[in-house]
Amino acid sequence: MDTEADLFYRQLPKVELHAHLNGSVSFETMETLIKRKPHLIEHRMTAILSGQRRALHECFQVFKVIHQLVDSEEDILMVAKAVIQEFAADGVKYLELRSTPREVTETGLTKQRYIETIRQCKREEVDIDVRFLVAVDRRHGPEVAMDTVKLAEDFLLSSDGIVVGLDLSGDPTEISISLILQVGHGKYLLSALEKAKNCGLKLALHLSEVRAHGNVCKQNIPIEMCLTSNVKGQTRGHPCVLCTDDKGVFCTDLSQEYQLAASTFGLTQETLWMLSQQSIGYTFAPEPIKQRLEKKWVELKQQILQ
Ligand SMILES: CNc1ncnc2c1ncn2[C@@H]1O[C@H](COP(=O)(O)O)[C@@H](O)[C@H]1O
Ligand SMILES: [Zn+2]
């Protein structure tokens, strides 16, 4: 049962800007998937799926298992609906989901149907605005990247504003950013990103998990996180948005992340409110949607913040 404090975090209206679809699959949904495909799952895999703490490279093992479990239109629809429902139940009012379109010959899944299925899965009765970023797995190289950008562009032009951008992700322990940026490999990847930008797709890039800030690591330069100052001061603070990344894989939710920030940095409810409200400004949504969200935050504030 929720304590009063837990309730505040769940009621706090939130914006989730960084959630990978398959990393967000909850343990309950995973169990349903396993029941549907028991032949796929060995004992070892169940152990991986239920693990609590994981090193980064282990997370990518988990994704491989999830990808085997989610390999048809039917699976994607089920998973996406459940993930959206869970974020809504956690008080998320605006969600940007990202996912890497896959092609699976055995089930007839195409990359286009993959995106189309996610685009269609929002149910009207759930109070959450969902947008979608098409993800490029940086390990798959420049040709795939360019094809994915073209696909994303088609959807941008024809998807009633649901597809808003492009994400660049993929296991950073397998490929370093310096390799991506090298002439040759990187030149083409960069041109795919450039094309995406030019056609109006918003870009979200994974750059700093392992080696991108090699100098920062080597010289042990601290990363300054001044949450309170960034939120309250706003003078030269760097924008800061709390996100879950992979709520299923990391066994968390956005309310928990807010709670963690609050206890770590001693933030008041008023500051947390500002933190969540400010993230509206960092969404990839068009202006009218941002205004609608702002209005919602103002209305809810009277009810929730005493
Ligand atoms: C932990 N930090 C991370 N760093 C980089 N990429 C990540 C990631 N977490 C997830 N992904 C990317 O998202 C995919 C799973 O969701 P989708 O199949 O796309 O929905 C992973 O295979 C990886 O490419
Ligand atoms: Zn991520």
In short, whether 24's Cβ falls inside 6 Å of ligand 1 is no
Report the half-sphere exposure of 55 (CA within 13 A, side-chain side). Answer: 4
| Per-position DSSP letters for 57-121, written without gaps between them | HHHHHHHHHHHHH--SHHHHHHHHHHHHHHHHHTTEEEEEEEE----BGGGTB-HHHHHHHHHH-
Ligand 1, residues 118, 169, 208, 246: which to mutate, most atoms within 8 A of Cβ? 169
| Per-position DSSP letters for 259-305, written without gaps between them | HHHHHHHT--HHHHHHHHHHGGGGSSS-HHHHHHHHHHHHHHHHHH-
Of 69-78, 122-131, 141-150, 190-199, minimum mean pLDDT range: 122-131
In short, whether 18's Cβ falls inside 6 Å of ligand 1 is no
In short, whether 154's Cβ falls inside 6 Å of ligand 1 is no
- pLDDT tens, position by position, 183-224: 445 556 888 999 999 999 999 988 755 544 455 556 666 666
Which residue lies with its CA nearest to atom 24 of ligand 1?
170
What is the position in ligand 1's atom list of the atom closest to the CA of 135?
19
Count Cβ atoms below 10 Å from residue 182 Cβ, excluding itself.
Answer: 12
In short, whether 244's Cβ falls inside 6 Å of ligand 1 is no
Phi, psi of 97 (to 5 degrees): -95, 140
CA of 206 to the centre of ligand 2 (A): 6
Q: Which amino acid is at 228?
A: T
Per-residue pLDDT band for 239 (boundaries 50, 70, 90) equals confident
**3-state percent helix, strand, coil for the chain, nearest multiple of 5:** 55, 10, 30
CA of 218 to the centre of ligand 1 (A): 25
Domain regions of the chain by residue span: 10-304
In short, whether 165's Cβ falls inside 6 Å of ligand 1 is no
Q: Between the CA of residue 270 and those of 231, 240, 241, 273, what are the distances in Å?
A: 10, 16, 16, 5
Helical ranges in 172-253 per DSSP H? 177-181, 185-198, 214-218, 227-228
Catalytic residues: 209
- Reply yes or no on whether the pLDDT at 63 is more than 80: yes
Residues 6 or more apart whose CB falls under 8 angstroms from that of 193 comprise 145, 149, 166, 168, 203, 205
Q: Which two tokens stand for residue 210?
A: 């392992």
Q: Are 44 and 50 in contact (CB under 8 A)?
A: no
- Reply yes or no on whether the pLDDT at 16 is more than 60: yes
CA of 80 to the centre of ligand 2 (A): 17
- pLDDT tens, position by position, 160-179: 899 999 999 987 666 555 45
Torsion of CA 106, 175, 225, 248, to 10 degrees: 20
What is the position in ligand 1's atom list of the atom closest to the CA of 100?
19
CA of 173 to the centre of ligand 2 (A): 13
Q: Which residues surround ligand 2, an ion (CB under 5 A)?
A: 245
* CATH 3.20.20.140 is the classification of domain 10-304: yes
CA of 304 to the centre of ligand 2 (A): 30
In the prediction, which pLDDT does 184 show?
43
In the prediction, which pLDDT does 225 show?
65
Average pLDDT over residues 61-86: 95
Residues 6 or more apart whose CB falls under 8 angstroms from that of 126 comprise 84, 85, 88
In short, whether 22's Cβ falls inside 6 Å of ligand 1 is yes
In short, whether 167's Cβ falls inside 6 Å of ligand 1 is no
Count Cβ atoms below 10 Å from residue 289 Cβ, excluding itself.
Answer: 17
Phi, psi of 282 (to 5 degrees): -100, 5
In the prediction, which pLDDT does 140 show?
86
